Amino acid sequence: MGLSNADLSQDMIWESKGVMADDEYTVEVRIPFKALRFDPGVDTWGINLARTTQRNNFQDTWAPTRKGNSSMLLQSGRLTALHDLDRGLVLDVTPVATSLTVGAPTTIGNTTDYRYTTTQQFGGDIRWGLRPNVTLNGTMRPDFSQVEADAGQLPGDVRFALFFPELRPFFVEGGENFDAPSQLVYTRNIVRPVGAAKLIGKFGSTDVAVLSAMDGKEYSITGTDNPLFNIVRIRRDLGSQSTLGFVLTDREEGRRTNRVAALDGRFVFGRVYNTAFQYGGSVTDSGDGSRVGRLWESSFDRSGRNYGFRNSIRALSDEFGSQAGFVNRNNIVEANINQRFSWFGGSGSAVEQMMWYISGQSLWTYGGFFDGSSAREARISLSTTASLRGGWSVNVTPALTTDQFDPDAYLNHYRLRPNGLRSDTVKYTPGGRVTSLQWQARIQTPQFQKWAANINTTYGSDAEYLEAAQAQRLDVSATLDFRPTPQIRMTATMLHQEFVRARDSRATTITNIPRIRVEYQLTRAILFRFVGQYENRLRDALRDPATEQRIVLRNANGTWTLSERTETNRVRADWLLAILPSPGRVIYVGYGASLKQTDPFSIAERPERTSDGLFVKVSYQLRIQ
């Protein structure tokens, strides 16, 4: 429905009641106007209701819609003749008190002991409806202890940081108003805010979202300055479907600053066509002079029922940086061509839908693109997805890739060459271009009454960037959702990844991450949650593929680090008891522990505790009428 980036959680005070019959059910929901943002001068509202039947993955909408159209919201139904709507005063004040006890090993002299420290923290949240369609939110000394730890991930490319979604309630609520192309807004850069405020609203045809936050000193480079974040996102409607937007981000830490500004637009025409662009830049000052970077992007899309495409080009110069966003790679120009073909079976067909995606991607360095150099990376793939009767889905995707290793990425790499009784360090030279073939497959079951599952796998040759060589790659990710009773929900996942050297069949990296999440809804207001995760990561000592000599890394201070075999086995367990009689009125009691093992998945070896903590959090929402 085009709402994948929207916050669909309803953290408001509302009433509902349902009645079940033999072959039907009825639900009534009463939502007070205080919980909504709206323009009192508008007498017609757009509305649509969507229902997904889990057992077959069919979706029905109240107002007729076509997914082939570029805009789903434009196809909404209408509520007309609305008048005398009064939101009233909306002012919610929520004081919060938190007690936290943290344990960790402490070394005094030659003795290591495990000790606990206890702290209390008082803070609060405020929500003020300045106008019917404008809301101001503020938080002081927020605590997010109840937010579960991030699930482990498999790195698609070891060179770049992984993206973890925002889970903290203050930043999630209304987060879609800050969405900008190229992920220029990423609130997880605000690690542990001392305080924050945001203003979200609509003024005529213009959406405005402003966020300011002060982060803790412990997350600054100096350790003495509080990083300051300011984010502004403005988006203006052009007609019924097109938009023109602007984003400005600013991070300041003493003399160190990073500012990003960008203009973007999306224009829809012919019902199924749209074109989009973005152009911006960054100015970064680390205290030793300013660096200016550029960003630009454009795309052309068609979203039809049987045929669609998306063609795009995106570029970031080597000096571009966004410390308030998530830009894990710069100095690139990336071009993508994607073609989609769809076929729909008749009513009751064994194959309900077939989709084929033909995709091509080329990536250059920023300077190499303008110099006419060949692409550093290229990929072409054919994805085939079959949606079967009953809600089953099967996908197979072969992909052919070519990668050229960048010598600049290995400037601090040397190989250790034996020389009599000692060894010399010789400059390491990465290999040339490698061509790889991979196969990806996915099977997804329907949502049965008590369970659902899916499994994804990738197998084939791939570029291995740690040693700049080719390797055999195997990725497996499996998920099982199990609901044995209406009160119990369980989700188990298993991630496995390995890179095996093509030249000697020895593994360079192996990762295993099993995880389980269990929720028990004792009553409507009382929830118990357990999350457990084991993270096993192994990396072999790096060697020069040409000579098999060990690789040694030269550090920035002139010292040397010999690459050695490493293995970590980390365990994380979190328990939470949540009592939520209504939004804002909450009692949380939680305990979490981090542990480690020497031998992976050993039953005989008792895990060693490295840290743990117990917290109690109480909040009470005061509504001022």
Asked whether residue 330 is assigned to any structural domain, the reply reads no
Query: Is there a contact between 233 and 185 (Cβ–Cβ < 8 Å)?
Result: yes
Kindly state whether residues 503 and 601 are assigned to the same domain. no
Token output for 559: 């010292």
Kindly state whether residues 591 and 470 are assigned to the same domain. no
CA distances from 250 to 137, 186, 190, 247 (A): 20, 12, 12, 10
Into how many domains does the chain fold? 3
Confidence bin at 198 (pLDDT 50/70/90): very high
CA distances from 514 to 9, 117, 491 (A): 27, 31, 11
pLDDT at residue 75 tops 50: yes
Among 32-36, 179-183, 303-307, 479-483, the range scoring the smallest mean pLDDT is 32-36
For strands 193-203 and 560-562, give the pairing.
unpaired
Asked whether residue 218 is assigned to any structural domain, the reply reads no
Confidence bin at 510 (pLDDT 50/70/90): very high
Asked whether residue 447 is assigned to any structural domain, the reply reads yes
Kindly state whether residues 64 and 22 are assigned to the same domain. yes
SS3 of residue 219 by DSSP: helix
According to the model, what pLDDT value does residue 621 have? Answer: 87
According to the model, what pLDDT value does residue 2 have? Answer: 39
Kindly state whether residues 617 and 533 are assigned to the same domain. no
pLDDT at residue 3 tops 50: no
Token output for 328: 């894990």
pLDDT at residue 68 tops 70: no
Asked whether residue 245 is assigned to any structural domain, the reply reads no
| Residue 310 identity | R
CA 476: distance to chain centroid?
Answer: 20
pLDDT at residue 73 tops 60: yes
CA 233 – CA 71 distance, rounded (Å): 21
Over residues 304-357, the pLDDT tens digits come to 889 999 999 999 999 999 999 999 999 999 999 999 999 999 878 999 999 999
Confidence bin at 23 (pLDDT 50/70/90): confident
Over residues 216-273, the pLDDT tens digits come to 999 888 888 999 999 999 999 998 889 999 999 999 998 899 999 999 999 999 889 9
Query: Is there a contact between 177 and 111 (Cβ–Cβ < 8 Å)?
Result: no
Contacts of 621 (CB under 8 A, 6+ apart): 92, 93, 94, 582, 583, 584, 585
Among 205-219, 335-349, 438-452, 575-589, the range scoring the smallest mean pLDDT is 575-589
CA 529 – CA 490 distance, rounded (Å): 10
Kindly state whether residues 407 and 437 are assigned to the same domain. yes
Please give the average per-residue pLDDT across 374-394, as a whole number. Answer: 95
Kindly state whether residues 396 and 496 are assigned to the same domain. yes
Q: Which has more pLDDT, 33 or 445?
A: 445
Confidence bin at 8 (pLDDT 50/70/90): low
Contacts of 482 (CB under 8 A, 6+ apart): 450, 451, 489, 490, 491, 492
CA 243 – CA 197 distance, rounded (Å): 26
Asked whether residue 142 is assigned to any structural domain, the reply reads no
Confidence bin at 17 (pLDDT 50/70/90): confident
CA 6: distance to chain centroid?
Answer: 13
Asked whether residue 294 is assigned to any structural domain, the reply reads no
Kindly state whether residues 473 and 616 are assigned to the same domain. no
Residue whose structure tokens are 């009160």: 487
Confidence bin at 103 (pLDDT 50/70/90): very high
CA 277 – CA 243 distance, rounded (Å): 11
According to the model, what pLDDT value does residue 1 have? Answer: 37
Rounded mean pLDDT of the chain? Answer: 90
Kindly state whether residues 622 and 557 are assigned to the same domain. no
According to the model, what pLDDT value does residue 623 have? Answer: 81
Confidence bin at 478 (pLDDT 50/70/90): very high
Kindly state whether residues 559 and 588 are assigned to the same domain. no
CA 284 – CA 180 distance, rounded (Å): 20
Asked whether residue 591 is assigned to any structural domain, the reply reads yes
Please state the φ and ψ torsions of residue 181, each to the nearest 5 degrees: -60, 155
CA 82 – CA 130 distance, rounded (Å): 22
Q: Where would I find the beta strands (DSSP E) of 21-89?
A: 25-30, 45-47, 50-53, 58-61, 77-79
According to the model, what pLDDT value does residue 84 have? Answer: 77
Kindly state whether residues 403 and 483 are assigned to the same domain. yes
Over residues 565-576, the pLDDT tens digits come to 999 999 999 999
| Residue 130 identity | L
Q: Which has more pLDDT, 595 or 48?
A: 595
**Percent of the chain scoring above 90 in pLDDT:** 64
CA 483 – CA 228 distance, rounded (Å): 44
Among 130-139, 149-158, 179-188, the range scoring the smallest mean pLDDT is 149-158
Please state the φ and ψ torsions of residue 144, each to the nearest 5 degrees: -120, 35
Contacts of 261 (CB under 8 A, 6+ apart): 246, 247, 248, 249, 280, 281
Confidence bin at 12 (pLDDT 50/70/90): low
Kindly state whether residues 496 and 581 are assigned to the same domain. no
- Give the long-range contacts of residues 116-120, CB within 8 A, separation 24 or more: none
Q: Domain end: 541, 564, 587, which one?
A: 564
Kindly state whether residues 489 and 600 are assigned to the same domain. no
Over residues 156-173, the pLDDT tens digits come to 788 888 899 998 989 998
Contacts of 564 (CB under 8 A, 6+ apart): 541
Asked whether residue 437 is assigned to any structural domain, the reply reads yes
Q: Domain range for residue 532?
A: 352-357+377-521+528-564
Token output for 369: 């693109």
According to the model, what pLDDT value does residue 420 have? Answer: 64
Q: Domain end: 513, 538, 564, which one?
A: 564
According to the model, what pLDDT value does residue 70 have? Answer: 61
Q: Which has more pLDDT, 9 or 603?
A: 603
Among 41-55, 434-448, 482-496, the range scoring the smallest mean pLDDT is 41-55
Query: Is there a contact between 332 and 366 (Cβ–Cβ < 8 Å)?
Result: yes
